Structure 1
């Protein structure tokens, strides 16, 4: 049986500001923006090429303080290009960091060990890792 991760809830304080950040700055696709009366709203966004989405909103979501999500990781085949895209979109992103050494031969020296880091407007922390091929 396959178990797939489909949705990660990202706690935010301002749904419109977060939607703009994820859609316009990060390029996530807005799957839906649904309102349930005056007090509930769910926005689902998916990173390009991902099978897993994020959900932001208010109302029927788990009660987590805005900015408390840490360590969500995106994977890209080219960390240098990904970082350049983030900078071009106005995201404050770290320099590329090499964390550790590759334990086995890889096609590119940054595979598995090349990372950049950024936060959303609420302080939720994201990691981007380069993996251009999997063994």
Structure 2
């Protein structure tokens, strides 16, 4: 790993935490409905679990975490943007599985890629952007 100009050794965004109310339900949604792979489901501490999922072959993961006291509650705009190789097919597939998606793919014209948002079972918002 090389040192950055500012003296840190950061190399990538490795994972993003998404707050969920029920880790088992969230795991089923991200793996069963979205088709992500489960990378970790490890107990730690006093009854806690570290659960991490990601698109197959993707680099960054999503950690499905329970809210900490006074912390972020579920149901927020995560800022996560997923890339799709076929945005229309993915939009249709998610809608057919009952996922709460935007009614249609938004197309603003170049240079803005096509996009839509969806919500997980806790109301957390994720965006999908076409790689077109």
User: Structure 1, unaligned stretches of length 5 or more?
Assistant: 104-111
Cα deviations across residues 51-87 of structure 1 (Å, max 9, x unaligned)?
1100013488x93211234331101121111112222
- In structure 2, C-alpha distance between the alignment counterparts of 1:46 and 1:89, rounded to whole Å: 19
- Once the two structures are superposed, the pairs formed by residues 1-135 of structure 1 within 5 Å of their partners are 3-58=11-66, 63-94=71-102, 95-98=104-107, 100-103=108-111, 112-132=112-132
User: Structure 2, unaligned stretches of length 5 or more?
Assistant: 3-9
Q: Which runs of 4+ in 1 moved over 6 A?
A: none
Aligned residue pair count: 122
TM-score by length of 1: 0.78
Cα deviations across residues 89-132 of structure 1 (Å, max 9, x unaligned)?
3322221111x3204xxxxxxxx421111111111101101013
- In structure 2, C-alpha distance between the alignment counterparts of 1:39 and 1:55, rounded to whole Å: 16
How well do the aligned residues superpose, as a CA RMSD in angstroms? 2.3
